[in-house]
Structure 1
Amino acid sequence: MAAQRLQLTWYNKDKALIPTDSGKYGYTWVDPSDPRYCETRTLIYDDYVEGTQSPKTDEFEYSELADLEPQTDNLLILGESGDVLEALTRVPELAEKYLGKVKLIYIDPPFNTAQTFASYEDNLEHSVWLTMMRDRLLHMKKLLADDGSIWVHLDDVESHRMRLLLDEVFGPQNYVVSIEWEKAYAPSNNASGIPMVTDGILVYQKSGAFKRNKLPRSSAMDARYANPDGSVRGRWKQGDKSARHTLGKRQHPGVYGIQHPITGDMVYPAISSNWRFEQSEMLRIMREWGAYELGEVTDSELEARRKVEGNGVELRDDVKPLIIPGWDEHHKTHAIQRYEKGDWPIYYPANGGTGGFQRKIYLADVEGMMPKNLWLSSEVGHNDSAKREIQTLFPDTVSFTTPKPERLLERVIHIGSNPGDIVLDVFAGSGTTAAVAQKMGRKWVTCELLESTFSTFTRPRLEKVVRDEDAGGITTTKDRTLKPSAVLPEKFEVKDLQDATKLLNAIAKEDGATAEDAAAIKAVKRLLATGPSKTRNWRGGGGFHVAHLSPACFDYNPELDRVMLTPAATGQRLIESIAANLGFALLHAEDDYIFEGRRGNALLKVVEGVATVDVVDSLVPHAAPGETIVLAATAVMDGVRQHLRKAVKGSRVVALPDDLFHYSKGGEQ
Structure 2
Amino acid sequence: MTNKKLELTWIGKEKRPRLEPRILLEGPGKSYHAKHRVSDSDLFDNRLIFGDNLLALKALEQESTGKVKCVFIDPPFNTQQAFEHYDDGYEHSIWLGLIRDRAESLRRLMSDDGTLFVHIDDNELGYLIALLDEVFGRANRVSVVTFKQGSATGHKSINPGVASTTNFVLIYAKNKTAWTPKRVFTARAERDKRYGQFIENVDEPYRRWRFTTLTKAFARYLDIPERGIKKTLGDGFEEQLSEFVMKNASRVVRLARPDYKAVSSEARDMIDRSKLKPDEVLLLERDTHSDMYFVNGERVLFYSDKLKLIDGQYVAGEPLTSLWDDILSNNLHNEGGVEFPKGKKPEALIKRCLDLTTNSGDLVLDSFAGSGTTGAVAHRMGRRWIMVELGEHCHTHIIPRLNKVIDGADPAGVTAAMNWKGGGGFRYYKLAPSLIVNDRWGNPVINPEYNAAHLAEALCKLEGFSYAPSEVHWWQHGHSSERDFIYVTTQNLSAEQLQALSDELGLPPDPSAITPGIALPPASMQSSPASGRGESRSLLVCCAAFRGVTAAKACERWPNLTLKKIPRMVLARCEWGHDDYSLNVAALPMFDGPLAAPSPPASLPRAGEGRTSSKSRQTAAGQGGLFGEDEA
Shorter-normalised TM-score: what interval?
Answer: 0.5 to 0.7
Q: What is the Cα deviation at residue 651 of structure 1? A: 3.1
Which residue type is aligned with residue 374 of structure 1? L
Q: Does 1:408 align with 2:349?
A: yes
Q: CA deviation at 1:170?
A: 0.3
Whole-Å Cα distance in 1 between the matches of residues 321 and 45 of structure 2? 32
The change in CA–CA distance for 1:432 and 1:252 in structure 2 (over 3 A counts) is: closer
Q: Which residue identity is paired with 1:437?
A: A
CA distance in structure 1 between the aligned counterparts of 2:349 and 2:295, rounded to whole angstroms: 43
**Selected match of 2:128 from 162, 166, 177:** 162
Q: Distance in 2 between matches of 1:195 and 1:221?
A: 25
Query: Are positions 1:653 and 2:620 aligned together?
Result: no
1:635: how far off? 3.0
Change (3 A) 1:187 1:7: farther
Equivalents in 2 of 1:558, 1:15: separation in Å? Answer: 31
C-alpha deviation, 1:200, in angstroms: 1.2
Q: Which residue of 2 aligns with 1:44?
A: 25
State the Cα distance separating 1:203 from its structure 2 match: 0.8
Question: Is contact 1:187-1:197 (8 Å) kept?
Answer: no
Deviations 1:609-631 (A, max 9, x none): 32332331232133244211111
What is the letter of the counterpart of residue 265 of structure 1? K
Aligned partner of residue 659 in structure 1, secondary structure = helix
Structure 1 residues 611, 124: CA separation in 2 closer, same or farther (over 3 Å shift)? farther
Match of 1:117 among 61, 74, 83: 83
- SS in structure 1 of the partner of residue 155 of structure 2: coil
Structure 1 position 553 matched with structure 2 position 494:
no
Distance in structure 1 (CA, Å) of the matches to 2:371 and 2:537 = 48
Residues 342-361 of structure 1: CA distance to partner in whole angstroms, max 9, x if unpaired? xx9852769xxxx9873557
For residues 362-511 of structure 1, what are the structure 2 equivalents within 5 Å?
363=305, 369-376=318-325, 379-382=326-329, 384-390=330-336, 393-394=337-338, 398-450=339-391, 452-477=392-417
8 A Cα contact 1:52 1:466, kept in partner: no
Q: 1:419 Cα deviation (Å)?
A: 1.8
In the superposition, relative to structure 1, how do residues 405 and 558 fare at CA in structure 2: closer, same or farther (>3 Å)? farther
Alpha-carbon contact 1:613-1:643 (below 8 Å) kept? no
Are residues 258 and 361 of structure 1, via their aligned partners in 2, closer, same or farther at CA, if it must alter by over 3 Å? Answer: farther
Partner of 1:347: 293
Change (3 A) 1:201 1:613: same
Partners of 1:558 and 1:126 in 2: CA distance? 39
| Distance (whole Å) between structure 2 residues aligned to residue 620 and residue 543 of structure 1 | 44
Judged with a 3 Å threshold, the aligned counterparts in structure 2 of structure 1 residues 443 and 256 are, in CA distance, closer, same or farther, namely closer
Contact 2:82 2:343 in 1 (8 A): no
The equivalent residue for 1:200 is 168
Name 1:265's counterpart in structure 2. Answer: 277
Any residues of structure 2 matched to 1:73-222 within 5 Å, and which?
Answer: 73-90=45-62, 95=63, 98-114=64-80, 117-185=83-151, 186=153, 188-189=155-156, 191=159, 194-208=162-176, 209-216=178-185, 218=187
For residues 49-101 of structure 1, give each alpha carbon's deviation from its aligned partner in whole angstroms, at most 9, with x where no partner exists. Answer: 1126898xxxxxxxxxxx993432211111111111101112xxxx2xx3212
What residue number does 1:338 align with?
Answer: none
Displacement of 1:267: 7.1
Q: In the alignment, which of 523, 526, 540 is matched to residue 630 of structure 1? A: 540
Cα distance, 1:549–1:257 mapped onto 2, change above 3 Å: same
The separation in 1 between residues aligned to 2:40 and 2:190, in whole angstroms, is: 24
What displacement does 1:458 show? 0.8
Is 2:9 the partner of 1:9? yes
| Contact 1:213/1:415 (8 A) holds in 2 | yes
| Partner SS state of residue 491, structure 2 | strand
Distance change >3 Å, CA 381–CA 69, structure 1 → 2: farther
Deviation readout 1:432-480 (Å, 9 max, x if unpaired): 0110111111111111111x21110011111110110111111125xxx
| Counterparts in 2 of 1:54 and 1:159: CA distance versus 1, 3 Å | same
Cα–Cα, structure 1 residues 199 and 539, in superposed 2: closer, same or farther, change >3 Å? same
One-letter amino acid of the counterpart of residue 632, structure 1 = C
**Identical aligned pairs, as a percentage?**
27
1:213/1:416 contact within 8 Å kept: yes
- Structure 1 CA distance for aligned equivalents of residues 450 and 302 of structure 2: 72
Alpha-carbon distance change, 247 to 635 in structure 1, aligned in 2, over 3 angstroms: closer
Distance in 2 (alpha carbons) for counterparts of 1:38 and 1:258: 73
Using the alignment, how far apart are the partners of 1:159 and 1:134 within structure 2?
14
Per-residue CA deviation, residues 310-360 of structure 1 (Å, 9 max, x unaligned), is: xxxxxxxxxxxxxxxxxxxxxxxxxxxxxxxxxx9852769xxxx987355
CA contact (8 A) 2:542 2:564 kept: yes
Q: What is the TM-score with the length of structure 1 in the denominator?
A: 0.64
Choose 179-188 or 632-641, whichever is displaced more.
632-641
1:418 is aligned with what amino acid? N
Shift of 1:259: 5.7
User: For 1:235-275, what per-residue CA distance to the aligned partner results, in whole angstroms no more than 9, with x for missing partners?
Assistant: 63535465214599x99954753268xxx835799xxxxx9
Inter-partner Cα distance in structure 2 for 1:541 and 1:226: 47
CA apart distance, 1:566: 2.8
> Which of the residues 404, 418, 423 maps onto 1:541?
423
8 Å CA contact retained: 2:293, 2:300:
yes
**AA at the equivalent of 1:631:** V
Alpha-carbon contact 1:554-1:569 (below 8 Å) kept: no
Q: Which amino acid aligns with 1:434?
A: G
Q: How many angstroms does 1:169 deviate by?
A: 0.5
Aligned-partner residue type, residue 320 of structure 2: P
Q: Is the 8 A contact 1:53 1:468 kept in 2?
A: no
Q: Which residues of structure 1 form unaligned runs of 5+?
A: 17-31, 56-66, 270-274, 286-343, 478-535
Q: Is the 8 A contact 1:100 1:144 kept in 2?
A: yes
Say whether 1:605 aligns with 2:605.
Answer: no
Partner-residue secondary structure (3-state), 2:131: helix
| Paired position in structure 2 for 1:229 | 202
- The correspondence of residues 351-362 of structure 1 with structure 2, limited to 5 A, is 358=300, 360=302
* Cα distance change on mapping 1:563 and 1:15 into 2, 3 Å: farther
Distance 1:389 1:4, change over 3 A: same
CA gap of 1:147–1:619, structure 2 versus 1, over 3 A, is same
Quote how far apart the aligned CAs of 1:423 are. 0.9
Mapped to 1, the partners of 2:283 and 2:503 lie a distance apart of 78
Residue 458 (structure 2) pairs with residue 577 (structure 1): yes
| Mapped partners of 1:361, 1:116: distance in 2 | 45
- More divergent stretch after superposition (117-126 vs 220-229): 220-229
Task: Specify whether residues 54 and 469 from structure 1 end up closer, same or farther in structure 2 by C-alpha distance, changes over 3 A only.
Answer: farther
Q: Which segment drifts farther, 162-171 or 611-620?
A: 611-620
Q: Quick one: structure 1 residues 607 and 583, their matched pair in 2 at CA, closer, same or farther if it must change by over 3 Å?
A: same
Q: Distance in 2 between matches of 1:371 and 1:414?
A: 11
Q: How does 1:15-54 map to 2 (within 5 A)?
A: 15-16=15-16, 32=17, 37-47=18-28, 48-51=31-34
Alpha-carbon deviations, 1:625-647, whole Å to 9, x = none?
42111111233436253454234
Q: Distance in 1 between matches of 2:13 and 2:291?
A: 66
